[in-house]
Amino acid sequence: MKDALHHSPEEIVERLCAVLDPVDARRRKPRRSDFDLNREDAPAPRKLKPAAVLVPLVRREERLCVIFTRRADHLQAHAGQISFPGGRQNVGRESLAECALRETAEEIGVSPDEVELLGRFDAYATVTGYAVTPFVGLVDPGFELVPDPGEVAEVFETPFDFLMNPRNHRLEEREFRGRLRRYYAMPYQGRYIWGATAGMLKALSDRLTG
């Protein structure tokens, strides 16, 4: 579907349902990671902590938009960074899909019954030791945001077609702890979407437009 981004929201959702893995698919080892562009820095095999995020899609004026959060500035890890709602799984007490929905409700106030899960895609290994499984879900446009001030500084939306367009996937680099690190970035209207979040969006784009 080379021209997938110029289709209607309904057609894009249909395409997503076709290319995503089932919500209850068997857990797999991460196929993407923070080290894909920095192979020389990849650590030895390690046990990763399971986590899940939701890529929330909402229809706005004949287009789909993605809901993002900006993490609170006082957090110890990834302060101020843009991310999807999500977090660490309570293993043995919830599935990965339930984890993504629970974290979304806790972080931005969107309840599970306001989300229609479409599927999941490539698990992503982070430099901080998590195996993050991303789920895509349609959010009822009538939702009311209730951000948790302890975790979330801001909630905003970005057009889905912008994020999925390979022309907007910038390959950038910066020095980190004395090493030059490469990563994907998708800057949009003054907001800097990068790192694991951009890496997961790149994986979704590869599926959708490939």
Q: What is the pLDDT of residue 2?
A: 47
105 sits in which H/E element = helix 96-108
Give, in order, the Cα–Cα distances in Å from 100 to each of 56, 64, 124. 10, 20, 14
Q: Which domains does the chain have, with CATH numbers?
A: 9-209 (3.90.79.10)
Closest CA to 138 of 61, 201, 64, 82: 64
Averaged pLDDT for residues 30-46? 80
Averaged pLDDT for residues 77-101? 90
| Strand ranges inside the chain, DSSP E | 32-33, 49-60, 63-71, 82-83, 86-88, 115-120, 124-125, 130-139, 152-159, 170-176, 179-185
**pLDDT(1) > 50:** no
Q: How many CB atoms lie within 10 A of CB 206?
A: 16
pTM of the model: 0.93
Percent of the chain surpassing pLDDT 90: 70
SS3 1: coil
Which of 69-78, 86-95, 178-187 is predicted most confidently?
86-95
**pLDDT(77) > 90:** no
Closest CA to 53 of 115, 1, 9: 115
Half-sphere exposure of 168 (CA within 13 A, CB side): 20
Half-sphere exposure of 114 (CA within 13 A, CB side): 18
Out of 42-46, 65-69, 164-168, 203-207, least confident range: 42-46
